[in-house]
Structure 1
Amino acid sequence: MHPSADVVARYGCSAVYKHPAAKVDIVLVHGLNGDPVKTWTSTGGVFWPSDLLPAALASHDDGDDEDGEKTTRPPACNIITYGYNADVFSTRHGTGSPSDNFIHQHAQTLVADLTMFRRAADTLRNPIVWVAHSLGGIVVKRALLYSNDVRHAPPAHHHHGGGDDDVRAVFLSTYAVVFLGTPHLGAGSAVGGWACVLQRIVDAVLPRRLFHSEPVLLRALRRDNETLADINCHFLHVYQRFRVHMVHECHKTDVKGTKITIVDADSASPQLPGVTYYGIEASHAEMCKFASPHAPGFRTMVTDIRQWLLDAPAVVAVRWAFEDREKRARALGDALECISPLFLPRASPSRLPSAALTPDSIAPTMFSLSNISALSLSTPHATAPRVARPASPDAMSLRSEASTLVDEIVDQLYKLHA
C-alpha cells in the first residue's frame, strides 16, 4: 500500500514502521533521482518496507526450523526511510529542482537528521542496518566515514547540534549494510570510468529530452568523481567492522532503444574478503522494488536481516562499552594533566610512559583515585628529591581536597567528552 505524504516526508527521516520495543533500526537510502517512497514501491503499488518487511521478519517466530532445531524470534525493529534532494535535472516546466550538494554534504545531513531522529526516539544506541540503492550507497559510505572521523574533529566542526558522542553513534551503531546496485568502482580508468557509470545511471533514470540543461548534481559528481573513488578507497579501511552485502542487477535496462547494464557486476560487487555477494533478477531501477514476498532477491535479503536483528544488539553493546571506557580514560587523563601541578611539579603527564595513559592502564587501575595518597604533595618551592614523603596532617587534608578535586574534574571532563 502506497504510504501517504503525511507519513513519509520528501526530505529527512520518516518511520514507516515503528515498534515500542524496537532494538534495531533499519534505514533505507535512495539514489540519484530517487524518492523515499517511489524508489521502494513496485509498479503494483507495493511499498515493501512497510507492506512486506515487518511481516517477513516476524514470519519465523519461536518454533522449529526445517531440521527440527529451535528457532529464535528476532527482536523488534523500526524501519526508517531517508529522503534527500538527489534530483539530477531541471525541466522547462520547473517541476524539478536539481541539488548542488556534494556527496559529503548529503552525508553530513544524513548523519545529522538520523542522529536527531534517533535522539528524539531515545534509540541513539540501537544497532543500524542500512539498505541503500545505487548512489545512495555512496552517501551511506561517506556518512559512516564522517561519523567516524568527527571523533577527532574540534567542536566547531559539528553541524546541526549534537556532540561527538551523538554523531559518532551512527558509526558505532552500524552493524550491516546492503548495497543494491551501488557503483563501488568506476569502469575502466578511475576518473573516466566514473563518468561513464554516472552517465549510464542518469540515462536510466530520466530521458535526456527532458533536460533543460546539464544536471547540476551530475556536473558536481563529474567534477568530484575523484572524491567518489576516494570514498570507496577509504571505506575499505572500515568495512570489515560491518556485515556487508553487495548486490548486482541481472537484467539490462532499455536506454534509448539499447539494452545496457547500468552498474555491472564488477562495479557493484568488487571481490573483498568477508563480503556476501548475490544478484537480483531485475533491472537497476527495479531491483529495489519488491512486489511480493516471492520477488527475486527479497527472501535472501530478509533471511540475512533477520539474523542480523538477532546478532546486532550484543555486538553493538560491546562496542559502546569500549567507547564509554575509553571516554572515561580520556577524561581521567585530562584530569591528571589539570591537577599535575599539585603533585610532582617537575613531572608532567606528557613525560609519563605512554603505556600509563592507555585506557587499559588508566581505567580502572593505574592512577585511580585510591592511589592519590601515594603521590608527592611537594610544593613548587620544595627542595627535597622527588619522592613520596611522610604525610603530615596538612598533607592528609590536601590529599583529601585533591581527591575531591580530581573526582569533580573527571566528572566534568567526562561530560565534555560525552
Structure 2
Amino acid sequence: MMDGFLSRPKKRKTPPNPQAHPNTDTSPSENPPIPSFPDGVKVLHDCPDATVDICFVHGLTGDRESTWTADGQSVPWPKTLLPPKLDKARILTYGYDAYIVRKGVASSNRLIDHATNLLNDLTTDRVCCNAPSRPIIFVVHSLGGLICKQAVLLSRNNPDTHLRGIFNCTTGIVFMGTPHRGAWMADWAEIPASALGLVKSVNKSLLEILQTNNQALELIQVNFWSMIRERQKANQPPDVTCFFEELPVPRVGKVVSKESATLEGYNSITIHANHRDMVKFASVEENGFKRLLGELVRWVSQLGKEN
C-alpha cells in the first residue's frame, strides 16, 4: 500500500513567527511545526470543452503528484502522457494526508473522513467549473481505492442533493492494487522504528481497516458490491477494471495479492511491476500504460456514443 514506500513529506522551512499568534500561550518548542501536505483537488490538465473528468487518488504514504511520477521524471505522467491521448478530458489529482508512520504527527483522519473530504472537495471543484453533471472516471491506487469506494457510497442517496452528483456521474473506476479484501499492511506498524529510520507516529485507524477480515473493510466491500451489481443489472455505470501487481517489493513481497486486488465478474489485468511502481509510467510505450489507456479510451468513447 506504500505509494512513496517510506518516503516522507518535507517540513516547512519557514520558522514559526512568535508574533503571528499573540494570544497563544504555548511556545514554538511545545508546538513543533506540522509537515505541510498537498491535499485537495489539483488540476493537472484543464480542458475548456472537456467531456469527462478523470480523477487520480493516491494510496498510503503517497501524495497527489509523486505517486504518479516515474523515477527520474519531474512531472506526473497523467499531466504529460494522458492529454495527447484524451484531448477532451480534464485531468485531476486528489491529495490527502495518508502518512500513517512518520516523524512528528500522523493525521488522525479515519478512512470515512478522507472519503467525506474527497466527496466534498471534488463536488466543490466541479461546481466551480460549472460542470457538476460532467461524467467522471476515477483512477485509484491502493488505499485510494477504498477511499473512492466509500466516497461513492456516501454520495449515493446523500441527504445533501448537491453531493449526489459524484455517484450519479461516476462512469468508471480503475482500481490499481486496491486491497478489496485487506492486506498485510497493518503489520507495517510492527516494524521497529529504527529499521524505518523514523520516530513513529501511527494512525491506527487506517492500519486497522487494512487488516484482512476487518469488519469495516468488509462492510464497505459488501455495500459497494451490492451497489455495483444493482447498477450492472440495470445496464448502468460505473464500469470497473482492476489492475494487480506482478512483482514483489524487494525484501517485502507482494503488498496486495491478486485475490484481494480483483473483483469477481470484472476485468482484471496485470502490470509487470511491484505495488509502488505499478502506477509510475515514464513512457507511452510501457505496456502498463497502454493497458490502462485502453480502458480509459474505451470508456470515454462510450460516453461519446451515449451523447
- TM normalised by structure 1 equals 0.58
Which stretches in structure 2 are left out of the alignment for 5+ residues? 1-36
**Distance in structure 2 (CA, Å) of the matches to 1:312 and 1:278:** 22
**2:158 is aligned with 1:169:** no
| RMSD across aligned positions (CA) | 2.3
Question: What corresponds to 1:141 in structure 2?
Answer: 149
Q: Which amino acid aligns with 1:234?
A: N
Q: CA shift at 1:232, angstroms? A: 1.1
Q: CA shift at 1:226, angstroms? A: 1.7
**Distance in structure 1 (CA, Å) of the matches to 2:51 and 2:194:** 42
**2:274 is aligned with 1:280:** no
Q: Give the conservation status (yes or no) of the 8 Å contact 2:155–2:164.
A: yes
Q: Give the conservation status (yes or no) of the 8 Å contact 1:88–1:215.
A: yes
Question: What corresponds to 1:51 in structure 2?
Answer: 80
Question: What corresponds to 1:227 in structure 2?
Answer: 216
Residues 270-318 of structure 1: per-residue CA shift (max 9 Å, x gap): 4x22x11110000100000001001231111112211211223665x7x
**2:97 is aligned with 1:85:** yes
- TM normalised by structure 2 equals 0.78
**Distance in structure 2 (CA, Å) of the matches to 1:12 and 1:235:** 24
Aligned partner of 1:253 among 236, 249, 252: 249
Change (3 A) 1:215 1:208: farther
- In the TM superposition, 1:15-414 aligns within 5 A as 15-45=43-73, 46-58=75-87, 76-91=88-103, 94=104, 97-150=105-158, 153=159, 163-164=160-161, 166-186=162-182, 194=183, 196-199=184-187, 208-213=195-200, 215-216=202-203, 218-222=204-208, 225-239=214-228, 240=232, 241-254=237-250, 258-270=251-263, 272-273=264-265, 275-312=266-303
Q: Give the conservation status (yes or no) of the 8 Å contact 1:41–1:47.
A: yes
**Distance in structure 2 (CA, Å) of the matches to 1:288 and 1:210:** 25
Which stretches in structure 1 are left out of the alignment for 5+ residues? 1-8, 59-75, 154-162, 187-193, 318-418
Change (3 A) 1:259 1:220: closer
Q: Give the conservation status (yes or no) of the 8 Å contact 2:185–2:207.
A: no
Q: CA shift at 1:14, angstroms? A: 0.9
DSSP-derived class of the 2:44 partner: strand
Q: CA shift at 1:208, angstroms? A: 4.6
Q: Which amino acid aligns with 2:207?
A: L
Which runs of structure 1 show a deviation greater than 4 angstroms over 4 or more consecutive aligned residues? none
Q: Which amino acid aligns with 2:224?
A: F
Higher relative contact order (CA 8 A, sep 6+): 2
Question: What corresponds to 1:327 in structure 2?
Answer: none
Change (3 A) 1:223 1:291: closer
Change (3 A) 1:139 1:305: same
Residues 89-119 of structure 1: per-residue CA shift (max 9 Å, x gap): 231xx3xx41111111111110000000000
Instruction: Give aligned pairs, total.
Output: 259
Q: Give the conservation status (yes or no) of the 8 Å contact 2:56–2:92.
A: yes
Q: CA shift at 1:29, angstroms? A: 0.2
Q: CA shift at 1:236, angstroms? A: 0.4
Q: CA shift at 1:198, angstroms? A: 3.4
Question: What corresponds to 2:6 in structure 1?
Answer: none
Identity of aligned residues (%): 32
Q: Give the conservation status (yes or no) of the 8 Å contact 1:126–1:313.
A: no
More helix by share: 1
